Each structure stands twice: as C-alpha cells, then as structure tokens.
Amino acid sequence: MSERKKSIVGIDPGSTSAVAVLDLRGNLRKLDSGRHMGKEEIIKTVADEGKPVLITSDKEKTPSTVEEVATSFGAEIFTPEEDLSISGKKELTRKHNYENTHERDALASAINAYNNFKNKFKNIEARMDDLNLQDLTPTVKEYVIVGKASSVAEAVEIALGGDENDKDNKKDRVKQGYTKEELEEKINNYRKIIIKERKDRKRLKEHNEKLKKQTKALKSRLEKLEEEKEREVEKVEKEVLEKKKIKKLRRNIRSKESRIRNLEETKRELEETVSRLKTIDRLRRTGRIPIRHIRKLSEESIRKEEKKFSLSNSVILTDGIEGDMEELTEFLKEHGVRVVLGSFPEEVVDIFVSEGMWSGDPEEVEIEEEDGIKHMDPDGIESLKGEKKDSFISWLKRYKERRV
C-alpha cells in the first residue's frame, strides 16, 4: 500500500460537516464539506482516500460521530490536550485555502495531529532512506503511530514478517511480489537496523548511567549550595537584625539628645527667670520699682510674660498696643496689672483711667536698667504734675503695702 493511501483524517461534525485528509507526509489529499453530511457519507469520503491511521477533531472531548467513524476503520483516535482555539486553527491552516470555517476546523485538527508525530515521521523517513526500505515507510509509520511497535527497528521487523500473526503485512508482501533475493536483502538491511538499534540503545544506556551519576553529583552539590545559602541567609538576617538594632539605638539616642536639648533650654530659661527674679527682688529691697518691658502689648504677649512669672502688681512698659483696647484693659486687670507706661493717645489713657489703672508717658519718669531689668525710682514722681502725680502716688502706696 503506498504512503498516499495511509492517512490522517480530521473531522468537524455537525449540521454542516467537513472532512480533511492528509497523507503521512503532511500533504493535503482531500478537503470537503456539506450540509447534512451524515456518518455514512463521511466514511465513504475517507475510504476513497485510503486507510486512515489517525482520526481526530478539534475538541478535547471526541465527538461521538468521530468515534463511530474511527471504529468503522479500526483507526486510532488522536485527542488534543484542549480544544483548539480559533487563533490556533487560523495559524495551522494559514497556508491552505478552504471554503468555510468547518473545513478550516477539520483541516486544523488533521494538521495538529500530524504535527504531533512530525519529528518521529522525519526520523523514520531518514532511517528508511538509509536502509533503502522506502516502500515500508508508510507501514512503519503506521505501526509506530498506533503503538504496534515501540521503535523503528521493531516496526521494520513486523513489516518484514517478524510477526507471523500480522495478516495485513503478509498480504502486503504478497502484493509487492518480492523475490527471494530481494527478501534476503531486506532482511540483511533489517539486521543492520537491529545492530544499529542495539548499539544506539547501549550508547543511550551508558549515557543514561552517566547522566544519573552527574545528576547525583549535581544533587549533592545542590544540597551543599542550599546549606551554604541557608548559612548566608542566617548571616544576612543576623546582620539585618543588628542593623535594625543599631538603627533603633540611634533613633533612641537622637530622641534622648533632643530631650536633653529641650531640658537644657528649659534649664537655661529657668536660670534666666531665677536671675531676673533675684534682680527684681534686690531692686525692690533697695526701694526701686521693677518694670516689665513688653514691646507689643497684646493678650498673647501678656500670656507669654505671665508664664515666666506673675504680672500681679507689676509696672509694664510697652512700645505699642495690639487688639481691642477695652478687652486688653480687662485682660490686664485680670492679671493684676495696674500701671502701664507708654506713649499713648489721650483716648487710650482715658480708657486705662476709666478702668482704675494708671497710665503715664515713660518720658515723664526716670527709667534705669540693671542686669537687663528696667526699673524706676519712686522719687521720680516729683516730676509728675497734678492728677497723674496723685494717681501714681495712690498706686505706689498700695504697691508698698503689698510688698511689706
């Protein structure tokens, strides 16, 4: 039987069915489709092209029609690992012309099955060419595809009559009409194949043993590398942990340093406050009146000055006033301030006076400074005139009474 008469068949069953027939070299021999093409018509179309070795479809689950056709021919069914995608089928059939998608699907499934055995087919063809047994190529391919032989040598042995139960093979030999000399030549070629196969098998076995030893050595090396890796990982993890500890310690140090700076600043401020209080106390004991200098008089600046030490019964000197005057005066009274020195307009002075406070121009009294603390001599009030003098004297008496 010629190679053209052994085939791989792709079937796309349905309301419109299609059949694609390839020979065992992958050449397209038949592509047909038709509406309501039943199983019998499909079988006839396939039979007209020879004996199918493989029958397939584009589905992972073989359609029942495909199974029935394969059974009728005693052919093997090739099943793809998964349904062929549309893009995959287009790629498989891009070099062929077809009338519709059904023909495309049937053709794609046949080509896919052929491609699965393509490399094995090429190897068989090369072997048979070397042995001048080209006429047995289709049969050897068939035996390898259907699993009748596990190797090319075994397939050749069966094809040449090694399997006495192979009736089809016997018929083929009778039809081919070999002479005794031709058969002896073919048998000699077969012996060459067997010898070569055995040598190849021995070489492969030796190579396999060598690979096993290499694999064992590599496995041992890999285990050592894994151990080294674990040690390195532990080392790195330890270093990372140490770095984290160092980083944490540095953060703690920075935090402590910041706290120390804040405490030192607080200490400095407290020392300045104590120094000022000592100076103020000394001035008071010598009969001087300390003056608290607040450049811009506002509720906020009063609060800040109050935090340093109490403003109660204090004299305040200011360069200006910010905010609502009446609210500010009330705020000053709440903090015990009764005297404010500054260059104020008459309306400002009137507000102070209306609230029971004394206000005067710093130019009208003699102001001195000692250790950063401004102060004045109560005798300086002699320069004041009229109501201002009486008002200040009244406050001064109250001041002295509180100091006693």
Using one digit for the tens of pLDDT, what is the confidence trace for 13-22?
Answer: 988 999 999 9
Is residue 89, in this structure, part of any structural domain at all? yes
The CATH number given to whatever domain includes residue 106 is: 3.30.420
Round to whole Å and give the CA distance between 71 and 231. 63
Separation between Cα atoms, residue 280 and residue 255, nearest integer Å: 37
Choose the final residue of a domain: 121, 149, 177: 149
Residue 100 has a pLDDT of 92
In a domain, 142, yes or no: yes
Q: Is the pTM of this model over 0.75?
A: no
Q: Which of 131, 149, 167 is the last residue of a domain?
A: 149
Distance of CA 40 to CAs 7, 37, 127, 260, Å?
A: 18, 8, 38, 101
Q: Is residue 45 in some structural domain? A: yes
Q: What is the CA radius of gyration of the chain?
A: 57
Q: Is residue 230 part of a domain?
A: no
Residues 6+ apart with CB under 8 A from 170: 161
Tokens representing residue 17 in the block: 């069915």
The length of the chain is: 404
Q: From 125, 149, 173, give the residue that closes a domain.
A: 149
Element (H, E) at 375: strand 373-376
- The pLDDT value given to residue 164: 42
pLDDT digits (tens, 9 = 90+) for 299-347: 888 888 888 777 776 788 888 888 888 888 888 888 878 788 888 888 8
* Domain encompassing residue 125: 3-149
- Alpha carbons 370 and 268: distance in angstroms, whole number: 20
Residue 23 lies in a domain: yes
Residue 247 lies in a domain: no
- Residue 180 inside a domain? The answer is no
Is 236 a domain residue? no
Give the chain's domain count: 2
What pLDDT sits at residue 380? Answer: 55
Hey, what are 174's tokens? 């009778």
Q: Which residues of the chain have pLDDT under 50?
A: 1-4, 163-167, 169-175, 381-389, 395, 399, 403-404
